[in-house]
Amino acid sequence: MPLDPLRLYRLVLDVALRENIALLNVGEGIFFLPERAFVYNVGKAIAVNATSLFGSDRVRWLPETKVGSGGPSDLVYEVEGQKGLVIEFKRRGNIDRNLQDLTKLADLDGNKYHRFFCVLVDAWPEKLHEDPRITNIESCLSPPKKVARVKSQFDFFSTLDRDFVNQVCCVVCLWEIT
C-alpha cells in the first residue's frame, strides 16, 4: 500500500491542533511547544497509526537517526518490504535553515524513502497565503528534484504567541520531496 501524503498531513495537523488546544488551556499556544516535543508527538501518532498509514505493522520508528550523508533526521521509519519515511521539521523556519533540511532530504534515495518537510509557520491572518517562508519553499531545490505541497492550501488555526501582541495563526505546512 503506497503512503498517502494527505493522510500523513491530516495526522500532523491533528497533532498540531491537539497540542495547541492543550497549550491554550494553560495560556500558551503551539509555538510554546519545543520542536522536538512536537516531533515526538507526531512520531508517536505515526507509530500508533502505522498499519493504516503504511499498510503494514512491520514498522520501526527511529527518531533522530542519521540516514544518508547528512546529519540526523528528525523522524525516520523503516518499513519492511517497502519505502521508509523520513520527515524533517521546523517551527517558524527561515529560508537558510529550511534549505539545509530540504537539501538533506533531496540527497536521500527517493527509491528507498518517502521524504517530507514539515514547517509550522507563524503568520498574520491577512498574510497566510503570501508568507515567503511558505511560498519560497517550492523553488528551493534545483531540478530534477522538486518540492511539492501535499495540498494546494495548507490548513491553519489561531493561536497565542508571546512574541506577538495581535492574533497570530499557525499554518501547518507539509511538502513532499520528489
1 — pLDDT class (breaks 50, 70, 90) = low
164 phi and psi angles, rounded to 5 deg: -125, 140
pLDDT tens for each residue of 12-22: 999 999 999 99
pTM (predicted TM-score): 0.94
pLDDT tens for each residue of 132-177: 888 888 877 777 778 999 999 999 999 998 887 777 999 999 999 9
- Give the integer Cα–Cα distance in Å for 39 and 29: 16
In the chain, the number of structural domains is 1
- Give the integer Cα–Cα distance in Å for 123 and 170: 6
74 phi and psi angles, rounded to 5 deg: -60, -55
Pairing of strands 59-66, 72-79: antiparallel
Residue 109: give the domain boundaries.
Answer: 5-177
Place of cell 515567503: 132
pLDDT tens for each residue of 69-109: 878 999 999 999 999 999 999 998 677 778 889 999 999 99
